[in-house]
Structure 1
Amino acid sequence: MFGRLFLLFLIVPMLDLALLVSVGSRIGLGPTLAIVVLTAAVGSWLARREGAAAWKRVQAKLSTGGVPGPELVDGLVILVAGTLLLTPGFLTDAAGLLGLFPPTRTLARRALRSRFERSVSDGSIHIVSGGSPFGPRPTVGGTPGFRPFGAPAPIIEDAEVIDDGSGDGAPRTPEAGRLG
């Protein structure tokens, strides 16, 4: 992880700066600055347009009762692309422009999904779901207030709370004759 952050925040800006200096020495300061400002302006316009379209797709999916997973990932890619386009530099501009085109967003979405699924399956990402803001959901076993997503709520008709004082929260089976 540290290596990736090092690459992202130190190496990429250094390469971008070197490329800006190289281009500036060949075509001059004025044209280089004009290109940087033009790509930022056009990029922000494209990012706004694509972002608005992605937002409409999210709303349409939600209005039909669907989960807007791919649409939200598209929005995330567009947000990152817009940020890259506003960052001065030719490498970041190129990466940002790639993120604004639907075919490359599809590739990015597939790559992100594959990476996420791999991270979940190898245990490096843990997914925890919580209860509603109106109180914990009832469970049988496991952590009180939590149950697997989509699992039906248990039906409890008659119950007696048995506390052995251990504090571990593990459910205990009542001894014969204790209920009744």
Structure 2
Amino acid sequence: MVKLILLFTLVPLAELFFLIKVGEYVGVGWTILLVASTGIVGVSLAKLQGLAIIGKTKFTLAQAKMPKDELIDGLLVLIGAAMLLTPGLLTDLAGFSLIIPFTRARIRSIVKDKFKGKIITGSFNFGPSSVNQDYNQNKDDDETIIDIDDYEEID
């Protein structure tokens, strides 16, 4: 929660600072043009990359394989496009790094390693942590769980 509060307060302040500094050097009009053009170019590039990822995903599925990298790439491009639509130079830089294939591949490997570590340690949750607690509290103590692999056939 604290990380989100810092993210949503410090990032806009840093963006505002850099926009003011760039505006002082090149002028307000050029700064606005720069922010608008990075947004337009970035979203166009995101669309092209998104279509390429959809094509790769279809090809991988046609081979009866799970499109793991393509799904992560799609998420990274989506996040990158959202960052490019946000006015600012830092978010544009981060957005372009998520959309350009070379840098995206490096970021994808970092994301995969992070997910893998969380899954191995069991610290990866798909929702509120209270869901599992609520389930365990409502569970009957007399409930018997039968594993289908542990059975004997009776004639």
The TM-score by the shorter chain falls in which range? 0.7 to 0.9
Aligned to 2:64: 65
Alignment partners' CA distance in 2, 1:77 and 1:7: 22
Shift of 1:3: 4.0
Alignment partners' CA distance in 2, 1:30 and 1:166: 69
- Aligned-residue identity in percent: 34
Given the alignment of the two structures, is residue 86 of structure 1 paired with residue 61 of structure 2, yes or no? no
The C-alpha deviation readout for 1:29-87, integer Å capped at 9, x for no partner, is 11110001100100010000011001110111011111000011011111111111110
Gaps of 5+ in 2: 127-139, 147-153
Alignment partners' CA distance in 2, 1:73 and 1:166: 40
Alignment partners' CA distance in 2, 1:58 and 1:3: 36
Counterpart of 2:24, as a letter, is: S
Gaps of 5+ in 1: 128-164, 172-178
**TM-score (ref. length: structure 1):** 0.69
Which protein, 1 or 2, shows the higher relative CO under an 8 Å CA cutoff with sep ≥ 6?
A: 2
CA RMSD of aligned residues (A): 1.9
Shift of 1:14: 1.1
Structure 1 residues 3 and 104, CA gap change in structure 2 (3 angstroms)? farther
Counterpart of 1:41, as a letter, is: I
**TM-score (ref. length: structure 2):** 0.80
Structure (1 or 2) with the larger CA radius of gyration = 1
Aligned to 2:151: none
Indicate the structure with greater helix content. Answer: 2
Structure 1 residues 121 and 29, CA gap change in structure 2 (3 angstroms)? same
Shift of 1:170: 3.2
From 139, 142, 146, the equivalent of 1:167 is: 142
Alignment of 1:18-29 (within 5 A): 18-29=17-28
Alignment partners' CA distance in 1, 2:124 and 2:88: 33
| Equivalenced residues, count | 135
Aligned to 1:103: 102
Counterpart of 2:35, as a letter, is: V
Structure 1 residues 98 and 167, CA gap change in structure 2 (3 angstroms)? same
